[in-house]
Structure formats: C-alpha cells, structure tokens
Amino acid sequence: MKFAMPDFAGNSRAAELKKSQRSSMLEYDQPLVWVTLLLLLTGVVMVYSASIGLPDAPKYANYKNHHFLLRQSMFVCIGLFAGLLAFRVRIEQWQQTIPILFIGTLVLMVLVLIPGIGKGVNGARRWIGMGGINLQPSELLKLMMVLYAADFTVRKQQYMHKLTKGFAPVAVAVAATGALLMLQPDLGAFGVIVCIAMGILFLGGFNIIWFGGMVGVLFAVFSLIIMISPWRYERMVAFANPWAASNVLGKGFQLSHSLIAFGRGELFGVGLGASVEKLHYLPEAHTDFLLAVIGEELGLVGVLLVTALFYWMVRRAFEIGRQAIVLDLTFAGLAAKGIGIWIGVQTFINMGVNLGLLPTKGLTLPLMSYGGSGVVINCVGLAILLRIDYENRSLMRGSRK
C-alpha cells in the first residue's frame, strides 16, 4: 500500500506567492493622488488664465496680473500640506473627535454672522477675516457633515427605521446648519450639505418611506425659499430664458455669457489664454464660472476631460467605501462614500450652472476654482479618503497600522 506524502514544498510555494502578492500591493492609491494633483495644477493654470486681465478693471486696479496665480499656488501648497497632516490621522481618531469638530464648526458659522468678525462680499457674509486670508466655515462644514452623518449612522444603526431616534437628531443638525447658512445667505452650500446627509443616511439603511417623505419636505422647503426671495425667484426666471431682453442684461447676464463662452470654444477651443469672455464680460470667471473659461479655451474636449477626471474620482471614492464596508469598517466606508457624494454633487451643480442646466448658484468647482478654503478643505477630504484606502490595504495585508 502506498501513502501520498503531503506536498510541503507546494504549500510553501503557495504561501510565499500569496505573501509576495500582498507585499507587492501598493500602500496607497497612486492613481487617486495623480488625478487630484492633475485637477489642482490644471486649476492653477486656468485660474491664472481667467484672472490675468482682472487688473484692468477698477475693482482690481491695485492687483498685479499674477496676483491670483500666486495666491492659488499658495492655497494649493497649504492644501497639500494640510492633506499630508490629515493622512497621518487614523480614521478611528476622526470618528472619536467628530462631535467636537462638528460643534466647533457650528461656532465658526455663528462667528461669521457677528459684525466685526464676519466679512461680507457682494451682500453675502460668509467669511472670517484672518489677516490676508479669509476662512469660509461653510466649506469646512461640508466635510464635517460627511463625518458627522457617517458617525451618526454607525451609532444609531439599530434605530435607522425609527423616526424619533433615527431621523430626528440628524434632522435637527441639518436644520441648524441650514438656518445658519441661510442667514449668510448660502443656499448652494445648504443644498450640498442636505445631499451629503441624505445620501449617507440612505446608504446606511434609513427607512425608505421616511426617506421619501424627507425628500418631499425638502423640495417644498427649497421651493418656498425661492418663492419668498425676490432675487432668487428672478434668477430662476432668468435661468429658464436667459436670452430674454429683460434677463440678458440682468439676472441672466452671467449665464448668457457663460453659454457664449462654450459656444466660442466649439470642439478644441480658441487656445489657452485666448478667451474673450474672461475680459470683464463673464463675472466671477476665476471662481464660479471657471468651467466656462475652460470650455472657451480648451473646447468640448477640455470640458469632457475634466468631467471624466471628476467622474473617476467619485467612482473611486465609492469603490473605496464599498471595500471598507466589506472589511467591516462601516464608519470608514460611509465616510468614503460621503466624500464621493460631496465632490460629485458640488461638481454636478457647478457644471450644471455653467452649462445652463441649473439656476445660477455661488458654488465653486472643487479643487480647481480660485479660493483658499475650498481648495484646502477639498485636499483634506481627499486625504481622509486616501487614509481609508490605506487602512483597507493594511488590513488586507494582515496589519492594523
């Protein structure tokens, strides 16, 4: 009778192969880093192009042609440094400190409304002056809402099908932030924050009936806000027909010139730096309407490339979140998906406004538009996303560092 000897050599080779596959796994998501850097650097170039002619206007007469280029470059450097610091923080530490961070952000939102502390621009009080830099707490609030909603969903998982314990607390939090935002006023940021909270609650298993009712209530609230606000109602009317004689020089002025910019760009654009609409025809060309300048100078091809990069980033965020949930890291998974919702919704609204698909709102294009608070907080949010992916990979290697 013959006995088969165990293949210790074969088992050893298989174990070594599995170990080598784990060790060859990258420690972090390099494509996500490169896509982020590409969007940031493209934003710096396009901000410079969109703002180079601003010193010709009386409002910016004291500025140099490279003023916004230098400041946006500084914001990107600060954002990357802040991102490196945020990446070093473990996700469980973010979860432990989010109540304090969320309350601190609400305090900043209140400070914005105090005369002498809050700074107003064009009728809106959204900034806190800090020397030569203005802090916009509503940008920080978007990230805090992602982390707060993810933490709330994890802590209250057993109550997600109940109204009082599963819905009421987060509804109060969203209502409080919404009230503070409407006092600034900033309806666009309020819309993004509502989408973040609702998206995470839905992904966390919130009762679908209550969710549908909440959608209806929010639709009624936003409709009422628009109807009782004359200038918002005028924007809505102008959005429906920006070419009307009563709109083209009024509330439809930005949209009409944005559409002209896209029309001039055609397929491949008029060339980098050759935009005409940025020369004092299109207001806020370096902030809210940067995509219109991209469309004019780089054409449909440039717009599609930017759109593809954002689409890939949002999709990757959801993939990282799904992987974290499979690894039983529920808070990390919901936070990753929440970051995807935040970037995706704000990008969609900004692009929709530029293309005339949505009413004009003061929302910037993430990572690209001029603005210190937005760029820095976007970098921190994506650094947290990278940290979630890093911890996923570490766990799959058998390490918990």
What residues does 134 pair with on adjacent strands?
A: 129
Please say if the pLDDT value at position 329 is more than 50.
yes
Domain that includes residue 186, residue range = 30-397
Please say if the pLDDT value at position 400 is more than 70.
no
Closest of 271, 351, 267 to residue 310, by C-alpha: 351
Assigned domain for 14 exists: no
Assigned domain for 25 exists: no
Contact 373, 140 (CB under 8 A): yes
Assigned domain for 21 exists: no
Q: What's CA 267's distance to the chain center, in Å?
A: 28
Assigned domain for 296 exists: yes
| 128-138 tens-digit pLDDT | 877 777 888 99
For residue 294, name the pLDDT band (cuts at 50, 70, 90). very high
Please say if the pLDDT value at position 362 is more than 70.
yes
Assigned domain for 18 exists: no
| pLDDT, mean of residues 323-348 | 95
pTM exceeds 0.75: yes
| pLDDT, mean of residues 199-210 | 77
Please say if the pLDDT value at position 43 is more than 70.
yes
Count of domains forming the chain: 1
C-alpha pair distances (Å), 177 with each of 110, 171, 187, 397: 10, 10, 11, 40
Assigned domain for 23 exists: no
Average pLDDT, rounded, for the chain: 85
| pLDDT, mean of residues 160-176 | 76
CA distance 349 to 361: 8
Task: Return the pLDDT at 300.
Answer: 95
Assigned domain for 13 exists: no
Please say if the pLDDT value at position 112 is more than 60.
yes
Q: In what order do the strands lie in the sheet with 133-135?
A: 118-121, 124-130, 133-135
Assigned domain for 37 exists: yes
